[in-house]
Amino acid sequence: MNIATLLPDLEPALKAFAASEGVMMIKSSSWVMPAVLVTHVLAITVLGGAMLLPGLRLMGVGMTSVSPASIEKSVRPWLWAALIALAVTGIFMCIVNPMKIYRAPAFLVKVIALIPALLLSLGVVRSLASRDGVMTQQTRVMTIVALVTWLLSILIFGTSYGAAPGSFHVVCAGWMIAMIFGSRFTRIALGAITAAIIVWMFVMTMLLHSPLDDYDLVMEVDRWTLRATAVIVFGFLLWEFVGKPSPDAATPKLNRMIGVFTILAWITVAAAGRWIGLGGGGL
């Protein structure tokens, strides 16, 4: 699924726009796009720090002696600066390559994933931080909307033909969170399952990828392995952060999950962005 399948009538206009003089002039410049791309990746770095620290604090880890309100207030100007830079450079990249983003499934994933990421960082996290962790009705609604849209973005990411491998980054981030912050049982169990998956992939490579050289079959096996891994990892995350009592009475377990969720939402946006160029204009 991509924007082309949702809005097929847009294609002629986008093609005309792509061939316009302004776009051609920007593309022919030797410095404009490098400057845009460099600014975009620097802004991603700033975003990383600005969303991680409040997210970790909500999870009840990191700077636990500092109030969530203080952390959120300190990072807020940097978060906004990063988001503005990302928006400006992102729009620029869309203008210069309209047909690519029109057909790229990863771009659709990125746009949808931006909804939960922004709702969480600018709405939910800020509200929880300023109210000492107390959740209002408005915050609850934003969280539910964020969860639904994030799940939709993950579903599209994991099922799109070309971009599905990119969802590995989100699964990997979830795995790291579970392994670093999970209980001893989670580390042992998830570690053992991971080892089994690695053996499975090795066996598949020897028995399937190399001998048969059937691209579609290989992709199908890889996709389903990744989906199974995703379900396992997120199952462990839910159990650790929602199913079990919070280790710290001052940190409600729903807030902990929101912290995890915020980090994963932004990883989804970043991973999808990376895979716009790598994932092709598939289905």
Partner 1 sequence: MLHDLLQWLQDVPGAVDGDPSTSWSQVLAGSLHLWALIEGTHVLSLMLFAGTILMVDLRMLGFAFKDVPYSTLNNKILPYTIVGFALVMITGLVLFFSNPVHYYHNVWFRAKVIFIILAAANIFWFHYRVQKSQAEWDARPNPPTSVRLAAGISLTSWMFVIIFGRLMAFVFFECENMPPGSFGYAFADCESEMRAVNEMLEEESSEELTDESTGEETEEVPADESGETPAEEAPASAPADQAAPQEE
Near partner 1 in 5-34, by CB under 8 A: 30, 33-34
DSSP assignment of 236-272, as one string? HHHIIIIISPPSSTTS-HHHHHHHHHHHHHHHHHHHH
Q: Is 46 in the site for partner 1 (CB under 8 A)?
A: yes
Near partner 1 in 218-277, by CB under 8 A: 218, 222, 266-267, 270-271, 273-277
Of residues 180 and 249, the one with the C-beta less far from partner 1: 180
Q: Is 38 in the site for partner 1 (CB under 8 A)?
A: yes
Site string for partner 1, 56-95 (x = CB under 8 A): x-----xxxxx---xx--xx--x----------xx--x--
Of residues 92 and 236, the one with the C-beta less far from partner 1: 92
Near partner 1 in 148-187, by CB under 8 A: 165-166, 168-169, 172-173, 176, 180
Cβ at position 137, least distance to partner 1 in Å:
31
Q: Yes or no: say if 257 and 241 are a contact pair by the CB < 8 Å rule.
A: yes
Cβ at position 166, least distance to partner 1 in Å:
7
Burial class (CB in 10 A: 0-12, 13-18, 19+), 199: exposed
Q: Is 42 in the site for partner 1 (CB under 8 A)?
A: yes
Distance (Å, rounded) from C-alpha 99 to C-alpha 32? 19
Cβ at position 218, least distance to partner 1 in Å:
7
DSSP assignment of 264-283, as one string? HHHHHHHHHHHHHHHSTT--
82-106 burial string, b = 16+ CB within 10 Å, else e? bbebbeebbebbebbbbebbbbbbb
For the chain, the 3-state helix, strand and coil shares in percent, each to the nearest 5, are 85, 0, 15
Cβ at position 144, least distance to partner 1 in Å:
26
